[in-house]
Chains A and B, each alone.
Chain A
Amino acid sequence: MSDDGAGLLAEWTHPVEWGKVREFARAVHDPRLGREPPVPPLTFPVVLSAEFIERFVSELLPLDRRRTVHGEQDYEYLKPLRVGQVIRCRARILRDEVKQGQRGGRMRLVTVEVKLTDATSGETIGFERMTAIEQEAPT
């Protein structure tokens, strides 16, 4: 698609691995644990973007983790994620702005979106959007 390059921050591929899905399902107490093949939990896409998010927060932005909280997480699901797929992830920044906080002090809000597509078929699987909030450094 011609608009895919607009604002593109990073692009990578990541396989949906059997063992990783099972490990994640166990960690979040998924009631379907034990099914074969394992079913990716609704929040499993964080596994596909973990390395990118680490680099994004620590190096690309960067944000001070001591003053940063996770504000929101938003998933849109178009096609199911399956074990064995290879997912192409494309990240872009939707928002990076400074706002006045309710209790004084300013805060930086950053929203990044990762679009997930099947690397083989090109089908769009869904979207993951994460919002981080960094409080102003104390003076």
Chain B
Amino acid sequence: MELAVLRDPPPFRFGPITRHDLVRYAGASGDFNPLHYDDEFARSAGLAGVMAHGMFSAGLLGSFLVSWVEDRHVRRFRLRFRSPVWPGDTLQATGAVARTHRAEDGAVAELVLKLARQDGSEVVTATAEVECP
């Protein structure tokens, strides 16, 4: 089976992330946790101010993934949240094919993905299982 079509994608940059992004994501997702829009509440939690939703960062990495492979081929997408994103951060998404193996109905590629801040620190790491038709 020919798997050469699935090449490592070029990195993609998001941001700088703004409060506008956070408010838009809150409204779109329905996640109104005050940590993401209320500075006073965020400070009461020991934060410097509002932080981005973890699922906002997850959504960005999902957008990177569907620009790389067709979503109908994605079987699994597992994300781990490593550190918060703050307004002003610039993020870079990267991805690579970790390995491929044969399954009952064709080949499956295991992808590793990462969203990192401008200083290189990890924000979200993820793995995805993708069918290779």
Q: A residues within 8 A CB of B29?
A: 24, 27, 46-47, 50
CA distance A28 to B62 in the complex (A): 8
Residues of chain A within 8 A of B35, CB atoms compared: 65-66
Tell me whether A51 and B30 are in contact in the complex, defined as CB-CB below 8 angstroms, given that A30-B66, A74-B78 are known contacts: yes
A70 interface residue, CB < 8 Å from B? yes
Interface membership of B79, Cβ < 8 A:
yes
Q: Is the interface of A mostly helix, strand, loop or mixed?
A: mixed
**Is the pair B34, A26 in contact by a Cβ cutoff of 8 Å?**
no
Whether B66 and A26, one on each chain, are in contact in the complex, defined by CB atoms closer than 8 angstroms, is no
Number of interface residues of A (CB under 8 A): 33
B55 CB contacts on chain A under 8 angstroms:
43, 46, 70, 73
Q: Is the CB of B63 within 8 A of A28?
A: yes
Q: Which of A24, A43, A69 contacts B58 (CB 8 A)?
A: A43
Q: Is A95 an interface residue (CB 8 A)?
A: no
Could you tell me if A29 and B63 are in contact, using CB atoms closer than 8 angstroms?
Answer: yes
Task: List 27 A-B pairs, Cβ < 8 Å.
Answer: A20-B28, A23-B27, A26-B24, A26-B28, A27-B29, A29-B14, A29-B60, A41-B63, A41-B66, A42-B74, A50-B29, A53-B31, A54-B30, A65-B33, A66-B44, A66-B45, A69-B81, A70-B81, A71-B80, A72-B80, A74-B79, A75-B77, A76-B76, A77-B71, A77-B75, A77-B76, A80-B72
Given contacts A39-B71, A53-B31, A65-B35, 5 further A-B contacts (CB under 8 A): A20-B28, A28-B25, A29-B59, A42-B65, A77-B76
8 tightest A-B contacts by CB?
A: A28-B59, A50-B30, A66-B45, A27-B28, A42-B62, A70-B54, A31-B67, A24-B28
